Structure 1
């Protein structure tokens, strides 16, 4: 039985931990809260990954450390470098391999299909810091200190996903209400299903061909409107009424919540076509993307289950 460390407790971290556990591996799942899935092969550990000494002790004896940590969105420039630096240092000290979950921010604005060798040319703060964390890890790999690889996912889809689609479109469709969205509705965009990201993370960790480079997770390329309409059909509700939030509206919202101001840096991802080439991970590891309807059917199923688990207030004593 191999031991692996998964840092984070979001939907992708949970899916990754369960894939490893169900394959018979022992998983140490680390987060500040210590929360996570219930599985006999998953050990839940409450630790701050910024504590390098404690994290090194947890990673000692592990084959792989999976970095799926995600600080608050608007804090990335301040919180990501020390956190990722701690994880890299602990992994190196423990003699484990490092698999990182990345995203597409590091590329910056791109006018063509995005490949793994597309330059990391982001100038915004969030994109720049994500690019630098990868180049720092790659430098450690090239120096022979630790083996590293990164799986870069698109905007997440699926049960438990936290993304523009899940927050602003999915929730409105399932509630059968209108949605105002900080993204264009009819432009091609490459999404990644939670389960597909987890499958890619586990696949690269098991294959010697993966180290020293980045890989794109399998993607589902569609439009916001098409995905919303498919979700509505699966949920048996009316096609949603969708509208795009203006810059002025986002600025007004940003006065109350710093999250909204961060959307301006990634406007190239949401207001022009953003299409990702995932052929490398398909051809090398035999992975394929889930179908859109299968992913959204899981969303509908999870929503229905959540509604059943919450008692009707009128029936409560």
Structure 2
């Protein structure tokens, strides 16, 4: 037998929406305008909510309102809850069969690797809608309305299940003009040029130099939050970037980027698909996971074939 939640802890969405709008705007007038209600109606709804909860959410001084400490904390949680309700309603309306997958992606992986392949998945699964959101680091699935995420790093994300997608090999890349300008002859010469780094991988260059038996440390280093912007800067001749080969195949093939040295290094971390355990049986996630693992396996096979062809005498 389940315990019924007391009604005062389940306020109506109308009361919560009035409170959230007033808390966010700091004004009953602005909240009323946003909700297309009268000021007195909004004030009445907020007062009803306070009476229902037994707590003052605002302190009132003449014609102004100010959140109490309790109201500020409550407002943050209610805003997130209303956002989740809005997202769920939007997804249901977009796909009444419930076939929606909300996926967090790494920006460059998402745009350069995943997006070109998505039409194949959607053709195979016409009833599924995919919503994409960018996330650069770990997040909490309990508070973020997402079903799964593409993750790069060690397999240490707590309270999730994960499937290995692929490894990566990085290579120092730059424009042909910059390579000619500095006349690189040995790997240590790269320290003479500006080095472009990704902020989430601050030690990547030290690891690459160490793999070449060269002491770490360099002169000028610029940091970027995404591989895409670092690659663009490298193509523009700003410096040398340490980039995943599988994400810059087109640029290397066209000559927009060249290898400063053909000394690839395999990263110690991997790409994974991760999802919270309670979403394991979500049908769109099951279909996407099976498809994604097939795509990743085919891509790894292509990379191996290319590597073997380059190693032939």
Using the size of structure 1 for normalisation, the TM-score is: 0.26
Using the size of structure 2 for normalisation, the TM-score is: 0.26
- Structure with the largest fraction of strand: 2
Largest Rg, 1 or 2: 2
